[in-house]
Structure 1
């Protein structure tokens, strides 16, 4: 598949003049609230919503944090003597020793965990016809399991749903690798016996073509929701700057991150700090959609 490398630096400068005319005179607009955002969604003021998510939305589902000493997964990986935790996603290290990655893959492979309220909230936006696109840093597949269709999903760091031989580039369905990975073996190509790697984007690899749909998605978005991400890994992190200045941005997160940590936040930035699930629930309650979301979760979980 076609891939490109690209740097997102100061991308918000492309839209800097938008939405700041009040600085030239007039009354500054009133700071928006969570209730304002909820009302805008409920009344369909926002119909092209872009959502950005990271690992924080999946920890309530029980996804282990491989970076945290004391977690079972971290301890299991120590037998491989990783030079540093992130080496598990370094393509050069993978080519030298793929075993640590496949130990992690065994834990994270889609089907081991279930989506939670944060995933289903995004699915609810899709069902209402208001989701333009979901951009995720996660590789756990929970967005797909929640019923968000691939055309509405940008898996910025790759996916387990497909895989490719690292030698001859033969492509495989991700599910074909599952039995071997669950058995603790490294999958090998049936054609050349090379190692088959799930299409996860490693450090040192180029981004998938689908990532660049941001060039058309973000300029037309009318609401940006950011959940469960530290906004530290580029170029994903810079996407938070890519909506027009007039577009509201909602952060539901444990900590202040990225543009939301600025000393001069936009008047239409809304911040809901604390537990992700609690924050999503507060938004959904304010939208008067609690029963609708609960019904969606119940019906979807019965099918998993």
Structure 2
């Protein structure tokens, strides 16, 4: 049985024929399935199923279910159900190192890479951690008398005082920061036809700025590319919000005067419907790359265990985190320390150094042209 059939049947059980057809539209053009290029996103029929995932017997994992489809901290215990749902595959026993993984990719043994990234990927671009007292962004937000930094992403506080959130949004305006070598490495994966999907926790839009198409992205915590009125739910393009935010105005709906909120996932909100693509993406993956994330926020964190046990997993991070710390697999590869140095080392082992430099030079020229 093809390794994607089992999760496909799971999706059918969860969402019914209509939901499955929408999911199928998204994934049918994955390399090796007979079509070229991804289809436009058509997961509208799946939206209603998000609320039903909690009750589904075909579950991603107990930890993810307990938090529904909303964000939350990862518990100490892990879920064994993810591997049973997504397929366990063979059990590779040999220990892998970074060079071994690079050789597998070069040899064409890994051609469907799923990537998970977090805030550590954007730090080299100069984006500060708004929770750090050492950052100027934190100081700017303190004038709004936040009870604690995370309140900026709580709906109750947002409705009481939306100014801190829009101050943060202005700081993250596209063009304020540029993609770095890590983003362009991921773009190169796409250009070479090796990127199945990129799952990001970041809301800075630097993956898009690096040229990775939206069809290859799952922005798990939302993005500024679109917005919605908090009262009448009317949708708006992200540009309408930026026009107001950049002149320090709270964006308002022209119909009902409600606050227009960018489609960023706040605490307790449902994740974007595209997040459901993980049901098919992860069992199809033949390599999993995890970069710059603490693997603490659910349900994103549980995805790190959703690939088959025979699939190599690479962690490039400052610290040892998640299952790499408390339940490692024999085919795990871990590179700790400076993110940029680790990615550059991988690129060197892949033999892509010159290609990456050329890509970054071309993209820098494009961005410089836009700034003029």
TM-score (normalised: structure 2): 0.77
Q: 2:331 matched to which residue of 1? A: 268
Cα distance in 2 for residues equivalent to 1:68 and 1:237: 23
- Residues 188 and 194 of structure 1 are in contact (CA less than 8 Å); yes or no, is this contact kept in structure 2? yes
2:135 paired with 1:57: no
> Secondary structure, in 3 states, of the residue corresponding to 1:80?
coil
Alpha-carbon distance in structure 2 between the residues aligned to 1:92 and 1:205: 12
Could you say which residue in structure 1 is the equivalent of 2:101? 37
Name the SS of the counterpart of 1:63 in structure 2. coil
- The alpha carbon displacement at 1:31 in A equals 0.6
| Match of residue 132 from structure 1 | 196
Root-mean-square deviation (CA, aligned residues, Å) is 1.4
Matched residue, 1:238: 302
Instruction: Give yes or no for the alignment of 1:278 onto 2:361.
Output: no
**Which secondary structure state, in structure 1, belongs to the residue aligned with residue 152 of structure 2?**
helix
Tell me which of the two structures has the higher relative contact order, counting C-alpha pairs closer than 8 angstroms and 6 or more residues apart: 1
Q: Shift in Å at residue 96 of structure 1?
A: 1.5
Asked if 1:162 is matched to 2:162, the reply is no
The 2-side partners of 1:224 and 1:17 are apart by: 14
Contact persistence 2:227–2:238 (CA under 8 A): yes
SS of structure 1 residue aligned to 2:143: helix
1:204 aligns with 2:275: no
Give the secondary structure class of the aligned counterpart of 1:133: strand
Give the drift of 1:17: 4.6
Instruction: String of CA shifts for 1:120-142, please: whole Å, max 9, x gaps.
Output: 11100100001000000000000
In the other structure, the counterpart of 2:283 is 219
Alignment of 1:302 onto 2:353 = no
CA distance in 2, matches of 1:189, 1:224: 41
Three-state SS of the structure 2 residue aligned to 1:226 is strand
Aligned-residue offset at 1:30: 2.2
Aligned to 2:89: 18
Once the two structures are TM-superposed, the CA of residue 70 in structure 1 deviates from its matched residue by 2.2
5 Å-filtered alignment, 1:83-232, equals: 83-232=147-296
Return the alpha-carbon distance in structure 1 between the equivalents of residues 89 and 106 of structure 2.
25
What stretches of structure 1 of length at least 5 have no aligned partner?
23-28
Equivalence for 1:25: none
State the 1:13 CA deviation. Answer: 4.0
Question: How far apart, CA to CA, are the structure 1 residues paired with 2:245 and 2:351?
Answer: 43
Structure 2 CA distance for aligned equivalents of residues 271 and 247 of structure 1: 14
Q: Report the number of matched residues.
A: 296
TM-superposed CA distance for 1:19, in Å, is 2.6
Structure 1 residue aligned with 2:135: 71
Counterpart contact for 2:174–2:204, Cα < 8 Å: yes
Q: Answer yes or no: is the 8 Å Cα contact 1:49–1:225 preserved in 2.
A: yes
SS in 2 for 1:207: coil
Superposed displacement of residue 18, structure 1:
3.0
Equivalent-residue separation in structure 1 for 2:108 and 2:98 (angstroms): 15
The more displaced of 52-61 and 82-91 is 82-91
What is aligned with 1:254?
A: 318
Is residue 81 of structure 1 aligned with residue 145 of structure 2? Answer: yes
Taking structure 1 as the reference length, the TM-score comes to 0.94
Q: Is the 8 A contact 2:105 2:350 kept in 1?
A: yes
The secondary structure found in structure 2 opposite 1:257 is coil
Alpha-carbon distance change, 17 to 227 in structure 1, aligned in 2, over 3 angstroms: closer
State the SS of the aligned residue for 2:262: strand
Does structure 1 retain, via aligned residues, the 8 Å contact 2:98–2:333?
yes
